[in-house]
Structure 1
Amino acid sequence: MNYLYLYGAVIVAIMVFYIRRQQRISSKGTAVLNEAIESGMVEPPSLHPVVDLIRCMGSGSCARACPENALAVVNGKAVLVNAAHCIGHGACMSACPVEAIKLVFGTEKRGIDIPNISPGFETNVSGIYIAGELGGMGLIRKAAEQGRQAIESIRKKTGGQADFDVVIVGCGPAGISAGLSSIQHKLRYKILEQEDSLGGAVYHYPRQKIAMTAPVELAIIGQVKFDEVSKETLLQFWLDVVKKTGLAISFRERMESIEKAGDHFVVTTNTSSYTTRTVLLSMGRRGTPRKLEVPGEEFPKVMYRLADPAQFEGQAVLVVGGGDSALEAAIALSEQKDTDVILSYRSSSFSRVKQKNRMMLEQQQKAGRLRVMLNSKVNSIHEHEVEINFEGASKMYPNEAIIVCAGGLLPTPLLQKIGIQFDTKFGRE
């Protein structure tokens, strides 16, 4: 009889521990969700998970698999509590043991335009193809597969006299895969990449690991399988692939227009123009970085992302913007030794930013490690200075680097000008 009491006590203790643990997890998730609501950060930027609450068993596998901590278990169910930080890599969907998660674009309140493409990845404009994130596929392995399949369709298309068989815009997973397939099929190809690095959206992932849980087939390379791989490891893999295969990529060359010219297309960039039989658009949905449109912005010291704060140690750096990326860049720079940091923002206050970033910014500001200029505007950029209009007066400030965090211009208007048709998604696959 004593044994029964003992077993009963153990079971009760385990249940109490489990319930209290679930309460703590739920409380933490609720706090994150409330903070996001207060900050106005409840709309996901692109591809994101939707949880089937009937099927969800609250195991928390999805939350543990998400490096961005975008998901949490609240009241026994998985909830997207940090929507603005979700980047749609699908690790949560792969980790769910009961398949209760699907990835969708848009929400009931905010639709996202997705181009209409055929099973062969051709748009309604004959000769123009789309693969990867721009076409609605944010998963790395599937984007790479789409790049390969798009070239399979392109190589079968006949007609058209031009310098190239295909111009590939963007060198993320879809673009790299398409380039490898072009080499395999002996196509005349040109890859354009507006930035100075490959990897596309992967390059910008602020996280420790990403998931590639299924094999991906790459032309020339063969089948590649990653279980869990860090961002850095994956980027190094792509670099090794480029080196091994001799894949040619034109970095810092931005597509500006595509025009039909008889039986071919003319692709104009910021440096040149090319004639091509077909075009494969494999760029991401980040679009072209939004510029300041001020004199001197062409100086090499002007950048549109912060890759390594340590490289700016001891320099005078200006950060422009008022979102989380701008605040995080300013904070990271202010932590470098002897770095003089100014954060300039055109509005009178920061909105839609995480409370944690707001507090850290105030902390660094009080410590004298950075200066915040609200209601300010950059007038002009010079080799060793920058002119800023602040508090009604324009003044020159010493400057060695400028990080512009003003978001991006989606390529939708450019594609619509070409004639590509879109479907607006409101939380649908």
Structure 2
Amino acid sequence: MNYDLIIIGGGPSGINVAISAKKAGLNYLVLEKGALANSLYNFPVNMTFFSTSLKLEIQNTPFISHGDKPTRTEALEYYRRLIGSNEINIHLYEKVDSMIAVEGGYTITTNKNTYDTSSVCVATGFYDTPRQLDVPGEDLSKVRHYYDDPHVYIGQNVVVIGAANSACDAALETWRKGAKVTMVHRGKEISDRVKYWIKPDIENRIKEGSINVHYESEVTAIRETEVDINTPNGPTTLKNDFVLAMTGYQPNFALFERLGLKFDVDDACKPVLNADTLETNLPNVYMAGVACAGLNTSKLFIENTRDHGDIIVEDILRQQPELVA
């Protein structure tokens, strides 16, 4: 089947573009490699968003939550309702493997099927691609790049790598459930970007000795029952049951390369985009959402990319007026 637009990514940005496409009468399809809003699904179970529900709304659809700032569960339900109420055409658990240019557009091959389309939008975000440690033992099952629920860490020796929001949240929650927590951080102190209500809490727990920390240090190897770290005082080995590698996330550059998208390695690896239309270096291939910022993952959010769907669809219709219903 030939499509007017295939959207890669079924998170908030992909859903946003899909709703714009449907309103414009385009024949579209959303391809998502995992669950609906897979990135949000990987957020901690008990997480509360920093943004208000009003700022997370898309396509003028109200986001009702019990508090001013919604929970992960409420967000997942909101996006599920958006998919249902708008009858969005989406294929879940379908991963894009390749894209080749053909006459009139592109052929996209997934793990399940092959599709032809005249336009493509990449809306893959960045939370699905954790930054790797690149140390021996990182592939052990005890190493987690996503923090889920503190219950499994009760009574365990836990190393938390990093000192930004995710790391501090994980350290505090697991400690409060009875874990023996040691933080390992390359910097000299807790990050200034940590949420204002979290920063004094983690600093006080460190000061009183409840949570151990090694500053200006890094993990060099991970084994089943130990972790090696380099510290300013020399190498040391810690007894260990779990490693929570809260080292941040990045756009899926491997996918970008497979698709043929270019990005500027000298400017935070930002994708090469037309700032006005969000069209990439490939004709009729667009990018939406936070991935547009490259490695500057703190620059773009749901709230300041909500116009991307309308921008992209408007340009598609400008270039292909025959698609107008």
Q: 1:211 aligns with which of 31, 54, 59?
A: 54
Q: Name which structure has the greater RCO, CA cutoff 8 Å, separation 6+.
A: 2
Matched position secondary structure for 1:348? coil
Distance 1:408 1:234 in 2: 20
Letter in 1 for 2:210: R
State the TM-score, normalized to the length of structure 1: 0.45
Q: Which 5+ residue runs of structure 2 have no aligned equivalent?
A: 263-271, 277-292, 294-298, 308-325
Q: Deviations over 1:142-186 (max 9, x none)?
A: xxxxxxxxxxxx8347xxxxxxxx4x432213434677989x999
| TM-score of the aligned structures, taking structure 2 as reference length | 0.57
1:300 offset after TM fit, Å?
A: 3.8
How many matched pairs?
Answer: 252
Residue in 2 that maps onto 1:418: 261
- Give unpaired runs (5+ residues) of structure 1: 1-153, 158-165, 218-223
- Letter in structure 1 aligned against 2:206: Q
Structure 1 CA distance for aligned equivalents of residues 184 and 147 of structure 2: 15
Q: Classify 1:368/1:352 alpha carbon distance in 2 versus 1 (closer, same or farther; 3 Å).
A: closer
Q: Is the 8 A contact 2:3 2:27 kept in 1?
A: no
After superposition, give the CA deviation of every residue in 1:82-113 in whole Å (9 maximum; x if it has no partner). xxxxxxxxxxxxxxxxxxxxxxxxxxxxxxxx
Once the two structures are superposed, what CA deviation does each residue of 1:353-398 show, in whole Å capped at 9, x if it has no partner? 4576454233223443221011222122334433323332242522
Secondary structure of the structure 1 residue equivalent to 2:31:
strand
Asked if 2 retains the 8 angstrom alpha-carbon contact of 1:306 and 1:403, the reply is yes
Whether the aligned pair in 2 keeps the contact of 1:303 and 1:403 (CA below 8 Å) is yes
Instruction: Name 2:182's counterpart in structure 1.
Output: 342
Determine the structure 2 residue equivalent to 1:380: 221
Is residue 298 of structure 1 aligned with residue 298 of structure 2? no
Show the counterpart of 1:408: 249
C-alpha distance 371-194 of structure 1, shift in aligned 2 (>3 A): farther
**After the TM superposition, which residues 172-187 of structure 1 pair with which residues of structure 2 at under 5 Å, given as runs?**
172-176=11-15
The answer on whether the counterparts of 1:294 and 1:379 sit within 8 Å (CA) in structure 2 is: yes
The change in CA–CA distance for 1:227 and 1:345 in structure 2 (over 3 A counts) is: closer
| CA radius of gyration, larger in | 1
**Higher helix fraction: Structure 1 or Structure 2?**
1
Q: Is the 8 A contact 1:199 1:238 kept in 2?
A: no
- Checking the alignment, whether the CA contact within 8 Å between 2:143 and 2:244 is kept in structure 1 is yes
Please point out which of 97, 100, 107 is paired with 1:260: 100
Shift of 1:277: 2.5
3-state SS of paired residue (2:183): strand
**1:260/1:248 Cα in 2 relative to 1: closer, same or farther (>3 Å)?**
closer
Give CA-to-partner distance per residue, 1:264-300, whole Å, 9 cap, x none. Answer: 34568xxx69754244312236573222122332334
What per-residue deviation string (whole Å, max 9, x for no partner) do you get for residues 295-320 of structure 1? 33233433334343344222222111
In the TM superposition, what is the alpha-carbon distance from 1:192 to its structure 2 partner?
A: 1.9
Decide whether aligned partners of structure 1 residues 226 and 284 sit closer, same or farther in structure 2, where only a CA change above 3 A counts: same
Q: Rate the CA distance shift 1:249–1:297 in 2: closer, same or farther, 3 A.
A: farther
Q: Are 1:397 and 2:239 counterparts?
A: yes
- For 2:145 and 2:159, the matched residues in 1 are separated by 12
Residues 286 and 408 in structure 1, CA contact (< 8 A), matched pair in contact too: yes
RMSD of aligned alpha carbons: 4.8
